[in-house]
Chains A and B, each alone.
Chain A
C-alpha cells in the first residue's frame, strides 16, 4: 500500500528487469505512437506487395529446369493455357456443319478476350490440314470462313483423319469432342478469364446441339486456385480474427483486454508482411499461411502478459497500473523471450534446409514476425496497458484470495495427475505415438493442383473429363537445340527427334507428342503421296526438309509453326501431353525421358532439355521430398539447442520439445490416415505446429522449474503452484487459435479445410501434450538419476535419422566394336551393388489365356558371385515360393541354386545345370532371369554382324554360339542373335535358337530406364515361337540400395522369410 503514495516516476522496482520496464513505461503515449508509426511504416509496403502464385516460384531462379523453361517460353512464346472442351452427349460427331460453326464462333470469341493471346488459340477453327494433291501441297483450314455445309464438315473430317498430330489434341480420337486451347497473357487474371469464357459459352446458340462444354486446363486451374484461395481466405480470415478476439475476451471478460493483443497481432503481422513487400519478396501461394503463424505467436505472447497483469490486478485492485504492468512484464519477459528464441530457431532450421524460395521466405519472415511479436509485446503492450488502465477482470476474482481460477485449477489437476501417474501417462502417450507413427508412415508426397478443388467442382470435373477424352492437360516440353542456325534442317537430327518422340510415347500417361517432325512427315507424305498413317516418315535429304518448311510457310499460316520451331531453325519444341497431372504418376516418365536424353539423345552440337509444368513440378516436389523431413529435424534440433541453452539443461530442453514432437506426429498421422499428401502447402503445417506447439511447453517448463526451486524439488507441489495461471493462459491461447482456425473447415476449398482442420488439431494436441507430458516428464526426471535421464533424452532426440540418396552417373565409352567387345561391354554393364524390384509377370498362352504373377526380385553383387533371390508375392497359390542362386564369376565354379516352397518349409538344392530350365512357368529360363540380359563370356563364342535399325535406333548386332554341346544343353540354346544398344549396352532384342538351331524364342526389351544411375530393363517380353506362349516382365518400384542383408541370400534366409526392411 505504501507504493500508492509514491510519485509515478519513482522506482519501486528492485530488479534489473523491473527497472527496464519501469523505464520504458515512462512515456507510454510516445512509445505507443512510435510503435503505431512503425506499424504503419512497415505495413505501408503491403500496397506494393507482388504476388507470385505460379508453380515456377517454387524453383530457385538459377535452377536448370527453370532456366530451360524460361528459354522455352522466350523462344516459343508459351504461356499458361485454358482449355474449353465441347463434348457430345450422344456420341454424335463434331464434324457437323452447325457444330463446327459454333466451335469456330467459340474459338473466335475466346481469342477476342483481353487476357487471351489471339495468335495462340488452337482449335479446328485455327489449325490447318496438310495434304498432297498431284504433287502439290495443300494446307487448308479445317473450317473455312462462312456458313458450313455437311459436305464441308465431311471434308474436314477426312483431312483430320490424315493428321495424326491433331488427333487427340484438337479432336478426340472418336471425333465426339473438340477442344479450344487458349494461352493467357496474365495468369493472375485467369479467374476473370474463366468467368468470361463461361459467359461466352452461355451466349452460344447451342439449341439443337447435343454438346456440353467444360472449361479447365493448367492455366485455368492454377489461376482459379489462386483466385479462389484469395477470395475464400479473405472471406474466412475475418471470421478467424473475430473468433480469436472473442476467445481473448472470454479469457479476460474485459473489452479493455482486447486492444493490446490486437495491436500486437497487427504490429507483428503487418510488420512482417510489410517488410516482405519492402524487400520485394513476392507473396507466394503458401504465404497465405504466414499471418496464421504470426497471429498464433503474437496472441500467445499477449495472452500470457495479460494473464499475469490481471492476476496481479485481482490481488491488488487499487495498485497503480504501471506497477502492476511492470511486475507482470518482469514476470513474463523470460518465458516470452524463451518462446520467441526457440520458435525463431525452429524457423531458421526450416529456412536453412529448404531450397525452395517460397518456403525459405516463409520461414525467414515467420521468424521476423515472431521477433516483431516479441518486440511489440515487450515495448508497445505494456505502454498500451499503462495508458488504458484495464480494470480487474471477473475471470480472475479467485486471485483476490490468491486462489487460482476454476479453469486454472482444473488444468493444474490434470498436470498433477500426470505428475502423479507419470509412467502411465507416458505409456499412454507412447501408445498414441505408435498409432501416430503408423499413420505418419502412410503420408505420401504428391501434388496435383486440381486436387485442391472439391471432387464435384466444375473445374475438377472438367479437368478429369478432358484428361479422359483428349490427350490430356498436363504438359512436358522438350526443347531440342542445335549449336548453329539451320541446325535442325538435318535428316539425322529430325530422325533423332522422332526416336525421342517414340520413346516418350511409351512412357506412362504420355498420350501424345507433337513436334516439327509431325509437320515435316505430313508434308513428306503429302508430296510423295505416301499412305497416311501414324508412323512418322522423313525425306532423304536435308534440302527436302528446308523446302518442306518453306512450302508450309508459303501455303499456310506462317505463324502456325512458331510453337514448334524457331525462326532460325535452331531450336525445336517437342510438346508431350500427359493425361494425369499428379507428381507421383509422372515421376517415372520424367526420369525415364531425362535418362534417355542424357544417354541416348545428347551429342556434341545437338542437345535436348526438359521444361514445362510437369518437369518443374517434378523438380520441386523431389526437392520437397528430399528436404522436408530434414528441415523439420534440423528445426527440432535447433529448438532443442535453444531451449537447452536457455534453460542450461539438456533435460529441460528435451522436455520442451517432446510435446511438439508428439504434436507433429499426430499432425502427420492425421494427414496419413485422411489421405492428405505432403505438398508445399501441407508441408507448412509442420512449421506452424512447431511454432505454436513449442511455446506451450516452454511456458510450462519455465514456470515449473521456477516452482521446483521454491518447493525443493517436490514436483507435485510445484505443479500445483505453477500450473494454474500458466496452463490457463495456454488453454485460452490454444482455444482461441484452435477454434479460430477450425472455422476454416467450413471453407469451400479443400485446401483451406485441411489447413484449418490440421492447424486446429496441431494446436490442441500441442497444448494437451504440453499440459500432461511436461509434468509427467518432470516427475520421471526427478525420480531418475539426472545423468541417465539426460543420456536417454539425448539418445531419443538424436534418434532422428535422415536419409540421403546418391545419384551416381553412368558413363559409356565408345570402343572398337566386335562381338566379344560388345558382349563384354554388355557383361560389364553396371548393375549396382544391389537391386530391389517388384516384377509383374504376365503369361499369355497361344489361346490368349492370361495368367498373372508378381514377385520380389533382390540382387546382391559380391566380389565372387552375383546373388539373386526371387520371391513370389502373388497369386496365393505360389505366394512365398522363392528361388535363390549364387552365380559365381569364376568359370570353374558351378553355380549354386535353391528353391524354397513354403509347403515343404525347406530350401531344396537344385542342380546347377537346371539353369536352362524355364523359371516357374515363364518363357524365361533361370539363366535369363539371373543374368540381367547379359551373355556369359564363358558360355558363348561371339561374332559381330554389323548394325541394324530398330524403332529408329541404330543397334549393333552380335551373335553367339555355345562353346560346347553340354553348355548348349544346359542353357537350352543353340545360338542367339542380339541387337545391342551401345548407349546403354542393353540388348534391345535377342532371338534364341534351340540346340537343334530351330527358332526358339525372342526376348524384346521394350522399355529401358536409368534408375539410380543403373540402366534397367523395365519391360521385357519373351515370346516362344515353338509354343506360341509369351511372358512379359514389367519391373516397378526399382531401387538400387548400397547393399542388402547378405543373410537373405543364403539358403537359411529362404526359410527365415524376408526381413521387414526388405519387404517395405
Chain B
C-alpha cells in the first residue's frame, strides 16, 4: 500500500512538475527606517522581502504562493520574539531569531469553474467596500504590529480556507469556509504600538500593571470553523451585497483565572454572527459607498472593580464613504462610521458608541511618478486623532522611495491618543525584483 502511495505521489509530483509552469513571480524588497520624533529614538530598521510566484498547473488551474520575511535591526516595533500565540498552529509565522518573522501569506490553488473560481489554501478573502474601516471585511484577522498604519493588505493575515466565487444568473455568490481560527496579532507589552487604551486592556487603566496573560483555544476544528456567504448584484448601476458570517471572534475576550494563587488574564474567543449589507454607486464626480452590519448577541467584556465578566449584546454598525474627484486633480476620500452596542451596561469595557471619521486627500504629480497623500483619522467620541503625510516617488520603473510622517493627538485612553508619544518619521525604499 505504501509502495502504491509512494508511486502515486511520485507520479503526481512528476505530473505537477511537468504541468506546472511559472507564469509570474516578483520579489519586492523594502528597506525602511523609522524614527520616533517624540521619543527621540529609532523605531525600526527593517528589511522586508515579500516573494510571490504564480504557477500554471493546467489550463484553468493555478497555484499562488507568497511569503514575507521581516528583519528588524532596531527591533522596537515588537521587541524580542513576536507574540504569535493568537495564531493557529497552521498559520503561525516562524520567528527568525529575536527580531524577525517569516510568514507564508498565500498558498492556494485556484481552479476556474464554469462561472467562477474556487480557491483552496491559505488566502485573504476581502469583503466590504470601505477603506480601512472594517465593518464587513471581517473574514481575516489582522496584525496590529503597526496599529492601523500598515497597508491593509500587509496587515491582513491569510487563513487556510476554501473559497468559492461563482455567478448565478446576474448574481455573484461567494462562499467561504475557514477552518483556521487565527485571531488578531496583538502587540506585547513594550511594543512601540502596544495597545494601552483601557478598551484594549479589558478595562485596565494605562500604566496599570497587567497580570500574566495566557491564550486558550479550546474549540474543535468544527467549532472553530468560520463560514461566510455573500451575494452581490446590481440594481441599475447601484452595486449591492448582502452577507452572512459566523465565526470565532478575532479580537480576544478576557477573563481572570487564578493559577498558583496568582491572577492570570486568560484570553479566549467566542463565536460571533453577523449579517451585513453594502452598496456603492457613482454620481458625477462622486462614488458613494455604504456598509452596515448587525451582530446579534455578540459577547463583550464588562469590568467592575472586582471582576472581569462578559455580556451578550446586540451591535449595529453603519459606515458611509465617498470618493470625490475634485478640481486640481485631487482625490478625496471621506468616511464616517457609527457603531452602537444596544442596551450597553455602564461597565462595558469598550464604549457603547464609536464614531470615527477618516479623510484622505491624494494627488499625483509628474505622471504618477510622485504621489502625495494626507490622511486624517479621528475618533469623534473623544476628539483624539491621527494624521499622516506621505510622499512616494517612483525613481525608476521598479524602484520607489517613500517618506512618511505620522502624528497622534488625544488622551491616553483614546483610540488614537494612546500613541501620543509615538509620532514616527518613516523613510523607505522599495525595489521590485
Q: Which residues of the partner chain A approach B396 to less than 8 Å between Cβ atoms?
A: 851
Given contacts A852-B397, A905-B126, A1052-B167, contact A875 B59 (CB under 8 A): no
CB distance from B176 to the nearest CB of A (A): 13
Q: Please give me the residue from chain A that is nearest to B152 by CB atom.
A: A904
Q: Which residues of the partner chain B approach A897 to less than 8 Å between Cβ atoms?
A: 282
A877 engages B325 (CB within 8 Å): no
Query: CB-defined interface of B237-272 with A at 8 Å, one 1/0 digit per residue?
Result: 101000000000000000000000000000000000
Q: Flag whether A813 is at the interface (Cβ < 8 A).
A: no
A913 engages B284 (CB within 8 Å): yes
Given contacts A920-B368, A1050-B167, A1060-B56, contact A910 B282 (CB under 8 A): yes
Q: Please give me the residue from chain A that is nearest to B115 by CB atom.
A: A1047
Q: Flag whether A917 is at the interface (Cβ < 8 A).
A: yes
Query: CB-defined interface of A875-895 with B at 8 Å, one 1/0 digit per residue?
Result: 111010000000000000110
B59 engages A1061 (CB within 8 Å): yes
A906 engages B126 (CB within 8 Å): yes
Give the interface of A toward B (CB within 8 A): 424, 427-428, 431, 434-435, 438, 843, 845, 851-853, 875-877, 879, 893-894, 896-897, 903-906, 908-914, 917-918, 920-923, 1027, 1029, 1047, 1050-1052, 1055-1057, 1059-1061, 1063
Q: Which residues of the partner chain A approach B18 to less than 8 Å between Cβ atoms?
A: 431, 434-435, 438
B19, B28, B283, B287, most chain A CB atoms within 10 A: B287
Q: Flag whether B169 is at the interface (Cβ < 8 A).
A: no
B15 engages A1060 (CB within 8 Å): no
Q: Flag whether B347 is at the interface (Cβ < 8 A).
A: no
A14 to B47, CA, bound (A): 91
Given contacts A905-B153, A1052-B232, contact A851 B397 (CB under 8 A): yes
Given contacts A877-B432, A897-B282, A1052-B232, contact A1057 B110 (CB under 8 A): yes
Q: Please give me the residue from chain B that is nearest to A1059 by CB atom.
A: B112
Q: Which residues of the partner chain B approach A920 to less than 8 Å between Cβ atoms?
A: 368
Q: Which residues of the partner chain B approach A906 to less than 8 Å between Cβ atoms?
A: 126, 128-129
Those of B14-38 within 8 Å (CB) of chain A: 14-15, 18-19, 21, 23-24, 26, 28
Those of B21-75 within 8 Å (CB) of chain A: 21, 23-24, 26, 28, 56, 59-62
CB distance from B207 to the nearest CB of A (A): 37
A894 to B237, CA, bound (A): 8
A1050 to B169, CA, bound (A): 13
CB distance from A1022 to the nearest CB of B (A): 11
Q: Please give me the residue from chain B that is nearest to A877 by CB atom.
A: B432
B59 engages A877 (CB within 8 Å): no
Q: Which residues of the partner chain A approach B239 to less than 8 Å between Cβ atoms?
A: 909, 1051
A913 to B282, CA, bound (A): 9
B165 engages A1052 (CB within 8 Å): yes
Contact of A434 among B19, B115, B153 (CB under 8 A): B19
Q: Compute the total of residue contacts between A and B using a CB distance below 8 Å.
A: 133
Q: Which 7 A-B pairs have the closest CB atoms?
A: A921-B368, A435-B18, A876-B432, A876-B26, A905-B126, A903-B153, A913-B285
A766 to B14, CA, bound (A): 22
Contact of A875 among B117, B153, B289, B432 (CB under 8 A): B432
CB distance from A321 to the nearest CB of B (A): 51
A923 to B285, CA, bound (A): 21
Q: Flag whether B402 is at the interface (Cβ < 8 A).
A: no
Q: Flag whether B281 is at the interface (Cβ < 8 A).
A: yes
A877, A897, A1047, A1063, most chain B CB atoms within 10 A: A877
Contact of B285 among A845, A879, A911, A1063 (CB under 8 A): A911
CB distance from B101 to the nearest CB of A (A): 20
CB distance from A88 to the nearest CB of B (A): 40
Contact of B325 among A431, A894, A914 (CB under 8 A): A914
Contact of A843 among B128, B167, B367 (CB under 8 A): B367
CB distance from B15 to the nearest CB of A (A): 5
A431 engages B126 (CB within 8 Å): no
Q: Which residues of the partner chain B approach A896 to less than 8 Å between Cβ atoms?
A: 237, 282
CB distance from A514 to the nearest CB of B (A): 41
A1060 to B284, CA, bound (A): 36
CB distance from B390 to the nearest CB of A (A): 15
Q: Flag whether B172 is at the interface (Cβ < 8 A).
A: yes
Given contacts A435-B18, A1047-B115, A1060-B60, contact A877 B394 (CB under 8 A): yes
Contact of B14 among A431, A879, A893, A910 (CB under 8 A): A431
Query: CB-defined interface of B278-321 with A at 8 Å, one 1/0 digit per residue?
Result: 00111111110100000000000000000000000000000000
B19 engages A911 (CB within 8 Å): no
A427 engages B11 (CB within 8 Å): yes
A908 to B7, CA, bound (A): 48
A59 to B409, CA, bound (A): 82
A845 engages B367 (CB within 8 Å): yes
B62 engages A911 (CB within 8 Å): no
B28 engages A876 (CB within 8 Å): yes
CB distance from A422 to the nearest CB of B (A): 14
Majority secondary structure, A binding face: mixed
A913 to B331, CA, bound (A): 12
A879, A1029, A1051, A1052, most chain B CB atoms within 10 A: A1052
Those of B328-377 within 8 Å (CB) of chain A: 329, 364, 366-369
Q: Please give me the residue from chain B that is nearest to A1057 by CB atom.
A: B110
CB distance from B391 to the nearest CB of A (A): 16
A918 engages B397 (CB within 8 Å): no
A922 to B394, CA, bound (A): 14
A1029 to B14, CA, bound (A): 51
Q: Please give me the residue from chain A that is nearest to B59 by CB atom.
A: A1060
Q: Flag whether B412 is at the interface (Cβ < 8 A).
A: no
Q: Please give me the residue from chain A that is nearest to B60 by CB atom.
A: A1060
Q: Please give me the residue from chain A that is nearest to B130 by CB atom.
A: A906
Contact of A909 among B62, B115, B282, B397 (CB under 8 A): B282
Given contacts A435-B18, A911-B286, A911-B287, contact A1056 B116 (CB under 8 A): yes
Q: Which residues of the partner chain B approach A853 to less than 8 Å between Cβ atoms?
A: 397
Q: Please give me the residue from chain A that is nearest to B170 by CB atom.
A: A1050
CB distance from B150 to the nearest CB of A (A): 12
Q: Which residues of the partner chain A approach B172 to less than 8 Å between Cβ atoms?
A: 1050, 1052
A59 to B129, CA, bound (A): 61
B325 engages A913 (CB within 8 Å): yes
Q: Flag whether B433 is at the interface (Cβ < 8 A).
A: yes
Contact of A911 among B56, B323, B394 (CB under 8 A): B323
CB distance from B229 to the nearest CB of A (A): 15
A893 to B433, CA, bound (A): 43
A917, A1050, A1060, A1063, most chain B CB atoms within 10 A: A1060
Q: Please give me the residue from chain B that is nearest to A1063 by CB atom.
A: B23
A1056 to B116, CA, bound (A): 8
Q: Which residues of the partner chain B approach A912 to less than 8 Å between Cβ atoms?
A: 282, 284
A845 engages B124 (CB within 8 Å): no
Q: Flag whether B218 is at the interface (Cβ < 8 A).
A: no
A912 to B172, CA, bound (A): 23
B167 engages A875 (CB within 8 Å): no
A903 engages B151 (CB within 8 Å): yes
A876 to B408, CA, bound (A): 34
Q: Please give me the residue from chain B that is nearest to A436 by CB atom.
A: B18
CB distance from A929 to the nearest CB of B (A): 15
CB distance from A871 to the nearest CB of B (A): 12
A195 to B56, CA, bound (A): 52
A1056 to B166, CA, bound (A): 10
Q: Which residues of the partner chain A approach B329 to less than 8 Å between Cβ atoms?
A: 917
Contact of A1060 among B112, B124, B369 (CB under 8 A): B112
Contact of B24 among A879, A914, A1061 (CB under 8 A): A879
Q: Flag whether B400 is at the interface (Cβ < 8 A).
A: yes
A13 to B240, CA, bound (A): 87
A876 engages B433 (CB within 8 Å): yes
List 10 additional A-B contacts (Cβ < 8 Å) besides A911-B287, A1052-B232. A431-B15, A431-B18, A875-B432, A903-B153, A904-B126, A904-B152, A909-B239, A909-B289, A1047-B116, A1060-B60
CB distance from B289 to the nearest CB of A (A): 7
A911 engages B367 (CB within 8 Å): no
Contact of B15 among A434, A877, A909 (CB under 8 A): A434
A1052 to B366, CA, bound (A): 32
